[in-house]
Amino acid sequence: MSAHRGPVPREDAARSVRLVAVGFGVTVVVTRLYLALTGYPQIGGEVYHLAHALWGGLLLLVGGLTALAWSNRWVPTVTAVCAGVGSGLFVDEVGKFITQRNDYFTPLAAPIIYAVFLGVLGLALLAGRARLDRPRVLAYSVAVRSKSLADGPLRPDDRAALLRDLDALADHPARPDLAAYAAALRPVVDQAPTDVPRDRARPLLAVLHRAESGLVPRWVHRIVLIVGSVLLGLLSLVGLVVLLALWSSDPDVQIVLDDQTLPPGSRPPVLVVASAGEALLGVLLLVAAGALLLGRDRVGIRLCRVGLLVALAGVNVALGYLDAELVVVAVVAELALLLLAGRYRTRFLTQTTERT
């Protein structure tokens, strides 16, 4: 591929792909919970069945057409939402596409769905690490940011970002043509009117921050984290019990998997991986709770986050093969605890030094 045809990363790619991942994950979780609570209803009557994969495909089409038809600044956000929700609805029914009997509940479906979710998250991480300082990438960034010139008064943040890219491009010796382009555009940006838009969300955020500070002081936040870590840790230690049962020589010890009793001495690899991972998560969360209880907040938060990230990034793939409904509940609980831990770190540990 020639140099001028190679892909160019967008400066907002990480944000857009994260939005796709969030839309995908939330859609799958909400869809599965809704279907389970409503008894898996079908739309279409006795002859037809309008599967939700069709609505997912429609949203994917809408997102693609939106990206092709318009150039406004809101297009990447709309496209990301349509892609996330649409792909979530579509991939959620992957079990019907990989089995001859169109089995929505096939055990392999949940790991495939989860692997796709992890793949999108991985792409978001890669997009966030892309180099944006090369002249060709800077030129593309300038072209995209220049859309704000056509829309009217520049916001201060947009103006600062555009000037930063122009200065970097103008000082780059590798492409004198692009440096000249940046130098010619700089006076236009300098003379463009600016306006500070009214941020309607800021007063609400300020109220929420004050409410959080008043209702959830540090000791309350710590107690919630400790209780959550202990509860989820104890539940995860079921994996340790399963591991011990798998290697037990007691003939009276039986393991029932998918309504079938495993033969003595049988150790399905997926069950071993899921059990070992859950056991590790349980131990890390209980140790994290102990560290938080002793006031070793940094250690506790670090162990809590490590355990939850390991579970979310790998253990749940194997767990999903064993029980698709259980992994949905596990993901929601783990994400909630991870957000609590992250918020605690942001509020109390970012600019403070813990006593060691």
Whether 351 shows a pLDDT value over 80: the answer reads no
Indicate whether 312 pLDDT > 60: yes
Tokens in use for 262? 């495993």
Cross-strand pairs, 260: 257
Report how far residue 98's alpha carbon sits from residue 174's, in angstroms, rounded to the nearest whole number.
Answer: 51
Structural contact between residues 325 and 32, judged by C-beta atoms closer than 8 angstroms: yes
Query: How confident is the model at residue 211, as a pLDDT?
Result: 83
Task: Report the pLDDT averaged over residues 22-49.
Answer: 86
pLDDT at residue number 355: 41
Least confident of 56-60, 118-122, 154-158, 160-164: 154-158
Does residue 236 contact residue 281 with C-beta atoms inside 8 Å? yes
156 pLDDT more than 70: yes
Q: Print burial letters for 168-202: b (CB count within 10 Å at least 16), e (below 16).
A: bbbebeebeebbebbeebbeebeebeeeeeeeeee
Please answer whether residues 103 and 95 qualify as being in contact, where contact means their C-beta atoms are separated by less than 8 angstroms.
yes
pLDDT higher than threshold 90 for residue 305: yes
Tens-place pLDDT, residues 85-99:
999 999 999 999 999
Tell me the mean pLDDT in the region 147-172. Answer: 88
Note the pLDDT tens digit of each residue in 197-231.
Answer: 766 667 777 888 888 888 889 999 999 999 999 99
Q: Which two tokens stand for residue 136?
A: 């060709």
According to the model, what pLDDT value does residue 258 have?
62
Residue 55 has pLDDT above 90, yes or no: yes
Give the ranges where the chain is alpha helix by DSSP (H).
13-38, 52-69, 75-91, 94-98, 109-128, 135-145, 147-151, 156-170, 176-191, 201-215, 218-236, 238-246, 269-293, 297-310, 316-322, 324-344
Mean pLDDT (the chain, rounded): 87
Tell me the domain boundaries of the chain: 7-128, 135-191, 203-349
Give the model's confidence band at 259: pLDDT under 50 very low, under 70 low, under 90 confident, else very high: low
pLDDT at residue 172, rounded to an integer: 83
At 4 the pLDDT is: 64
Give residue 1's pLDDT.
Answer: 44
Cα–Cα distance measured from residue 76 to residue 16, given in angstroms and rounded to the nearest whole number: 7
Q: Tell me, what's the pLDDT at 354?
A: 42
In this prediction, residue 132 carries a pLDDT of 82
DSSP 4: G
User: Cα separation of 193 and 206, whole Å?
Assistant: 29
Q: CB neighbours of 298 closer than 8 A, spacing ≥ 6?
A: 349, 354
Which residues, other chains included, contact 140 with Cβ-Cβ below 8 Å and sequence gap of 6+?
Answer: 8, 10
